[in-house]
Chains A and B, each alone.
Chain A
Amino acid sequence: MSISIASIIKKSGPFAHSSNSVQKTMFTVLLALAPATVFNLYLFGWPAIMLFTVTVGSCVAIEAGCLALADRPVKAALGDYSAILTGWLMAMSLPPWAPWWIGVMAAVFAIALAKHSFGGIGQNVFNPAMVGRTVMLISFPVVMTAWVAPHPLFSAGAPGLMDAIAITFGGHMPDTVSAASALGYVKTELSRGIPVTESIAKVPDLMDMVLGYRAGSLGETSAVLILAGGLFLMFKRIISWHIPLSVMGGVFLMGAIFHAVDPARYASGMFHLVSGATFLGAFFIATDYVTSPVTKKGQLIFGLGCGVLIWLIRTFAGYPEGVAFAVLLMNGLAPIIDQYTRPRAFGRNSKGEPLPLVKEKP
């Protein structure tokens, strides 16, 4: 023979592979997040940019440290962008003017505790970004709910670079700029006995909320850009419609039904849909591959569960926002959901027994 070929076969087929890869998937998600992120970083100015950088940077650094500790190749694993994505999503769920140590500590809890103590990428039960955010929220509730009104870069009153350093690294939060998020405001007013119908009139109107010109975390504002990113992911077939639609459907339906029953007590479905982190949660957080069910049926149940829990927590629990809690609770259920929603095998019924042979004229 003129040309010899491999004499020992190590791998069976197939001998074709899609262009799909983990790296590509994660990168596409980052791409989808980019427009909303850029807009919001502009909206909240230098302090937000610094917190964002610190959070993502710490995630990558801690990931590298964990990999080194576990004796795994660091460079190859960092190349999958998963740590960047975790940091990115987490930064988008923090108050934009929060001090630097919030980002660093959140990164420790997200990467070291939620991800690597479970065995690294693909092994974690709970969404790392949401674990990081939630631990911070419970431990430092004051800092974690100090929202600011938008101060677009280079606009009058916006903090300059030096002010930003003072805010992020010095902990000098200017008192004057604090503002409540819409959800928080409505909740506080309600506890003071002011009906939702009145308080809601004082928050920015729905249109402003959709566009994002309001107080909140990076990912909470600008619903429309998050939505665009989500649709882009669907178009790229990174995510399917099942989880986003069922999350939004769950929130909206619960809101709408109870609003119809008692408008003074319950905010409308539309308000719930566009406020807070509903869109970010529906498109980017609940859809996290690792911590959501793999079957389509399971994803619908998972999403609906997230949606209903978000509404329940917002309406009845102590916290104004419930996306992170809802997603984490459903994360815990994902393995069980998967087990009970396995697809029916070809030629078998759902119990795995062969289908009966029905004679009919084809």
Chain B
Amino acid sequence: MKLFPILGGIHPDYRKERTSEKAIVAMPMPATLYIPLQQHIGAPAEVLVAEGDLVRKGQMIARNQGTVSASQHAPTSGRIKAVTEVAAPHPSGLPQMTIVLESDGKDEWADLPEPIADPFTADMHTINDRVAQSGIVGMGGAAFPSAIKLNLGEQKKLEILLLNGAECEPYLTCDDRVMREYPDEIIDGARIMAHALGTPRIVIAIEQNKPQAIGIMTKAASAFPEIRVVGVPVQYPMGSERHLVQAITGRETPARKLTADLGVVVHNVSTTRAVHHAVRFGRPLVARVVTVSGGAIREPNNVLTPIGTLVSDLVEFCGGFAVRPESVVNGGPMMGQPLPSLDVPVVKGTSGILALTAEEINDSQTSSCIRCGNCVTVCPCGLSPIDMASFIRKDKLDGAAKLGVMDCFSCGSCSWVCPSHIPLVHYFNYAKGALNDLERERSKGDRVKIFVESRTVRLERAAEAKRATLAARKPASDNAAPGNAAEAKPAPTTEEKANA
């Protein structure tokens, strides 16, 4: 299959060999699980349980609400200890509403929905409803509710279901292991999804640094002529949705459009496997494979982790820390988020927990920019990090916006390559947040302005009406004047105010 080049990119130290040969192991059920109501992009789910309730594994404990949302399920059987605020797996360490579940140790399944007998003749809505019901979100890290992405087939004519097995982030091997150990589940899930989407073709893209996975997937897909397994070049960030689509189809997704507008829908391989479980067995998403790695971890591994497991429990399971980590990262080292504490839960989008040493991070003090231009060369989005950063440093956010800072998806290539160790991505993260704030403020300001203007108009009209009545009454009865004057007294005050 002909592949197409993508712009920029880097070749970081992958360090995948630490866990790539470690088979997935299931960790024992922790005593307490912390299931946040929001583990996805969109609105938080609505709680269905209260303190003291007994739940069984797979039972829905929070329901999706609004258009973009995902429901949550009990990862094991037990008692609801509390529904309270718990620190989120987020760099801010801010709390979010979380269901605290005490395991009863029995791990008993609830009555699950019936398997869909023959998904390939089933209506697309049946499949999508099942996916939505099972709380499945994109497991590559972005955690976008999958059912919504599966509905795209309804509005758009789709050509390709592209399975993302690139796993371009260093360290991470969870997708690699899932592909090697459960190829048939992935293929089955992919065929079900392709059926729901109405795509005639399935392409599975895997970076060439995973030859075993490519071999195993190719073999598993050989029975299905509509499926192609493609080895893509090892080039970070190949796993970015838009870039992968470009590599496979040669087409560039226009800004503010979706890859689906080009007829391509991208799903992560682990997501596909979750769809297989939901459709074939009625099992919701209650556990995921997490790569636990980094120089500070004693026994790096790929762990099947119940959703809601505390990171500290997971680290403990992997032998704890050999040395004090410089940073603990949720996700890969390039785009992952640092964790302020280990007492935060593993969520559906957690692909890795990395305890990194200072040598691995290889950061040092920022020095002056020497204009080497490496950041411009490596930017996969064709932006000019050097210019955007200098605008942001001088608080000229609109200048940075004009250069396209909102198009940056924080892949980290520029920061990685910068010889002066300038925290370019941090600048852009800040600018994106601040620009969003400004936009929110501006739209609120505009709204308030409309309220104020309509109020002024209303008051003026009321005053006008009052004057009219007064004028009408005056000639009619001169005798009643004192009374009228008293009645009309409040009117001028309102009028004054309105004119003011």
Are A and B direct contacts in the complex by CB distance below 8 Å?
A: yes
- Determine the chain B residues whose CB is within 8 A of the CB of A22 once the complex forms: 367, 370, 419-420
Find out whether the CB atom of B367 lies under 8 angstroms from the CB atom of A80. Answer: yes
Residue in B91, B170, B340, B370 with the greatest tally of chain A CB atoms within 10 Å: B370
CA–CA, A21 and B426, complex, Å: 19
Residue in A2, A292, A295, A343 with the greatest tally of chain B CB atoms within 10 Å: A343
Q: Give the interface SS of chain B, mostly helix, strand, loop or mixed.
A: loop
Find out whether the CB atom of A347 lies under 8 angstroms from the CB atom of B253. Answer: yes
Partner of A12, one of B356, B387, B423: B423
Find out whether the CB atom of A293 lies under 8 angstroms from the CB atom of B373. Answer: yes
Find out whether the CB atom of A19 lies under 8 angstroms from the CB atom of B412. Answer: no
CA–CA, A346 and B5, complex, Å: 13
Check: A193 CB closer than 8 A to any chain B CB. Answer: no
Check: A16 CB closer than 8 A to any chain B CB. Answer: yes
Check: A348 CB closer than 8 A to any chain B CB. Answer: yes
Check: B122 CB closer than 8 A to any chain A CB. Answer: no
Map CB proximity to A onto B148-164 as digits: 1 under 8 Å, 0 otherwise: 00000000000110000
- Determine the chain A residues whose CB is within 8 A of the CB of B316 once the complex forms: 2
Check: B404 CB closer than 8 A to any chain A CB. Answer: yes
Check: A65 CB closer than 8 A to any chain B CB. Answer: no
CA–CA, A44 and B93, complex, Å: 66
CA–CA, A6 and B338, complex, Å: 10
Find out whether the CB atom of B373 lies under 8 angstroms from the CB atom of A295. Answer: yes
CA–CA, A357 and B264, complex, Å: 13
Partner of A8, one of B10, B340, B356: B340
Check: B252 CB closer than 8 A to any chain A CB. Answer: yes
Find out whether the CB atom of B372 lies under 8 angstroms from the CB atom of A25. Answer: yes
Are A13 and B255 CB-contacts (below 8 A) given A2-B320, A3-B324?
no
Find out whether the CB atom of B380 lies under 8 angstroms from the CB atom of A18. Answer: no
Contact residues of A between 1 and 60, Cβ < 8 Å to B: 1-3, 5-9, 11-22, 24-25
Residue on A nearest B385 in the bound complex, by CB: A294
A77 to chain B, nearest CB (A): 8
Check: B417 CB closer than 8 A to any chain A CB. Answer: yes
- Determine the chain B residues whose CB is within 8 A of the CB of A289 once the complex forms: 370-373
Residue in A9, A18, A357, A360 with the greatest tally of chain B CB atoms within 10 Å: A18
Residue on B nearest A25 in the bound complex, by CB: B419
CA–CA, A327 and B73, complex, Å: 67
CA–CA, A2 and B316, complex, Å: 9
Counting residue pairs across A and B whose Cβ atoms lie within 8 Å, the total is 201
Partner of A122, one of B12, B356, B364, B368: B368
Find out whether the CB atom of B342 lies under 8 angstroms from the CB atom of A16. Answer: no
Number of chain B residues close to chain A: CB under 8 A: 86
Residue on A nearest B386 in the bound complex, by CB: A294
Pick out which of these stretches binds chain A: B96-104, B125-133, B326-334, B464-472: B326-334
Find out whether the CB atom of A20 lies under 8 angstroms from the CB atom of B419. Answer: yes
CA–CA, A361 and B250, complex, Å: 11
- Determine the chain A residues whose CB is within 8 A of the CB of B410 once the complex forms: 12-13
Map CB proximity to A onto B322-362 as digits: 1 under 8 Å, 0 otherwise: 00111111000111111111110000000000101000111
Residue in B91, B263, B341, B371 with the greatest tally of chain A CB atoms within 10 Å: B371
Interface residues on A, range: 35 or more
Check: B249 CB closer than 8 A to any chain A CB. Answer: yes
Map CB proximity to A onto B226-249 as digits: 1 under 8 Å, 0 otherwise: 000000000000000010000001
- Determine the chain A residues whose CB is within 8 A of the CB of B379 once the complex forms: 343
Check: A249 CB closer than 8 A to any chain B CB. Answer: no
Check: A180 CB closer than 8 A to any chain B CB. Answer: no
CA–CA, A234 and B367, complex, Å: 24
Residue on A nearest B162 in the bound complex, by CB: A362
Residue in B93, B256, B261, B362 with the greatest tally of chain A CB atoms within 10 Å: B362
- Determine the chain A residues whose CB is within 8 A of the CB of B421 once the complex forms: 17, 21
- Determine the chain B residues whose CB is within 8 A of the CB of A8 once the complex forms: 340
CA–CA, A361 and B383, complex, Å: 28
Check: A143 CB closer than 8 A to any chain B CB. Answer: no
Check: B374 CB closer than 8 A to any chain A CB. Answer: yes
Q: Can you list 14 residue pairs at the A/B interface with Cβ under 8 Å?
A: A5-B342, A9-B91, A9-B338, A9-B339, A13-B334, A13-B415, A14-B412, A14-B425, A240-B377, A289-B371, A296-B377, A343-B382, A346-B252, A357-B261
Q: A16-B170, A21-B421 are in contact. List 19 more A-B contacts (CB 8 A).
A: A5-B325, A9-B91, A12-B429, A13-B329, A13-B335, A16-B12, A22-B370, A80-B367, A122-B368, A122-B369, A291-B371, A292-B371, A294-B373, A295-B384, A342-B384, A346-B7, A347-B257, A348-B255, A360-B251
CB-based closest 5 A-B pairs: A294-B373, A14-B412, A355-B254, A354-B255, A347-B255
List chain A positions with a Cβ less than 8 A from chain B.
1-3, 5-9, 11-22, 24-25, 80, 82, 120-123, 240, 289-296, 299, 338, 342-348, 352, 354-357, 360-362
